[in-house]
Amino acid sequence: MIRRKLAAFMYGRYGSFGIDSLNMFLIAAGLILYIVGAVVRGRIASAVIFAVQTAAYVYLIFRFLSKNITARRKENDRFRALFSRVKGWFGLQKNRIRDRGKFVYKKCPECGAVLRLPYSKGEHTVRCPKCQNRFGVKNG
């Protein structure tokens, strides 16, 4: 009885299609903030963490119960694009540390592509393999 009522209530709602990446992120963020909130001492910091956590859960519930499937899917796509960019940035920082002294990473001023170049002291001219633009690189 309750089960059937719940199924009828969830019919056509975004949550009935499963948990998407953004909802997964909101659940994880809420849990992490819960742990951080338990450790943090300051009253203002605790209040801010609690507010952000509440906002994450309200947004999660809103998305779960939403009937605007198209809008929620678009939201999720935007989130995934942003998340992969953030992940890419962290990956690049990791490689920069790993390659320190052996390779340098330079951004092409023309197309924005990040080039991994063998490190050698002095000034060099580099040709971007993506857009063929030539630009100067100076290694100290």
Give me the residues that bind Zn ion (CB under 5 A), please: 108, 110-111, 113, 128, 130-131, 133
Identity of the residue, 60 or 128, whose beta carbon is nearer to Zn ion in the bound complex? 128
Q: Could you tell me the smallest distance in angstroms from the CB atom of residue 127 to Zn ion? A: 9
Residue 135 CB, nearest distance to Zn ion (Å)? 8
Nearer to Zn ion, 77 or 110 (CB): 110
| Alpha carbon distance 13, 27 (integer Å) | 18
Q: Please identify, using beta-carbon distances, which residue of 58 and 131 lies nearer to Zn ion.
A: 131
- Smallest separation (angstroms) from Zn ion to the CB of 54: 45
Of 74 and 130, the one with the shorter C-beta distance to Zn ion is 130
Q: Minimum distance between the CB of residue 113 and Zn ion, rounded to whole angstroms?
A: 5
For residue 73, which of 29, 10, 15, 25 has the smallest C-alpha distance? 15
Q: Are 79 and 28 in contact (CB under 8 A)?
A: no
Residues 69, 17: contact at Cβ < 8 Å? yes
Beta strands in the chain (DSSP E): 103-107, 114-118, 122-127, 134-139
Residue position matching structure tokens 């300051």? 42
